[in-house]
Amino acid sequence: MAYAGRPGTLDGMLISARNLVMTYGTGGSATHALAGVDLDLRPGSLAIMGPSGSGKTTLLHCLAGIVRPTSGTVTFRDQQLSAMSDRQRTALRRKDFGFLFQSGQLLAELPASENVALPLMLDGQPVKTAIASAREWLGRLGLAGMENRRPGELSGGQAQRVAIARALITQPSVVFADEPTGALDQATGQQVMQILVQASAHAGAALVVVTHDPGVAAACQRTVVMRDGRDVSAETAPPQPGAQPAPGFPYDQPVPRAQPAQRPNPAPGQVPPQSYPPAPPHPPAQFPAGSTTGSVRS
């Protein structure tokens, strides 16, 4: 049976996970990566936060159909992922889910436009049409004129913008982002999060962000806190934007420019450390009203 596409639900539910358990190994050496997690995902942005080894990435992989849990269920728009074949889940990930990783996972030999267009070409769209859509998305994310640059010719923030465009070009229902700012400096990470939240909302996609950074989690509307494979959100105060390195993020405001670090005066006989001015922010993303690419689905 082929993957059925995008059926709707009356309550707007996108993903529902119930009693998820993921166990690696057996007996006394077994590791319980997930220990009975429930989660509901509706349109909006959700952060899954926790330290290394808390189960947050395993949870994301289960929600996205990348792995099957040991027990429990994950349902996407009334379709149970465990009942799908590998081919059906692959089609689901290609058409309905977008992915963004810490290192971008761009293909080094392809220019930015082809990296972004790749999901459309894999889905059978003509190359010319796919490239045109990719160039439009790159322009909206402030990368006009960089369409022919390969990943090695882009800064870290620019490469993540390319990855964001690739994640959104298929107009997915859900975007899964695993530590999307983990390889970036603080100022660039703020810019990337601003663009990711804005672009996902503009495209009508729910956003799930896995992070260990409270500042990143504070950008999202909801936060699930993981510890030892369990959801301990009820026991943990939610991250507060005012207490984060990126204070006062409303994401419709410009990201503040980073300030150079204050260095102590060198001791006599020492060579003073060199200070570099901060890089200017990238051009802002543009999402014109009434556009067709990334339009909100009914």
- Going from N- to C-terminal start, the domains of the chain cover 15-103+172-240
Residue-wise pLDDT for 64-102, tens only, equals 999 999 999 999 988 999 899 999 998 899 889 999 988
Look up the CATH number of domain 15-103+172-240.
Answer: 3.40.50.300
Residue-wise pLDDT for 36-70, tens only, equals 999 999 999 999 999 999 999 999 999 999 999 99
Provide the pLDDT for residue 182: 86
- DSSP codes joined into one string, the chain: ---------TT---EEEEEEEEEES-GGG-EEEEEEEEEEE-SSEEEEE--TTSSHHHHHHHHTTSS--SEEEEEETTEEGGGS-HHHHHHHHHHTEEEEETT----TTS-HHHHHHHHHHHTT--HHHHHHHHHHHHHHTT-TT-TT--GGGS-HHHHHHHHHHHHHTT--SEEEEESTTTTS-HHHHHHHHHHHHHHHHHTT-EEEEEES-HHHHTTSSEEEEEETTEE-GGGSPPP-GGGSSSTT--TTSPPPPPPPPP-PPPPTTSPPPP--PPPPPPPPP---TT-STTPPP-
The larger pLDDT score, comparing residue 272 to residue 53, is at 53
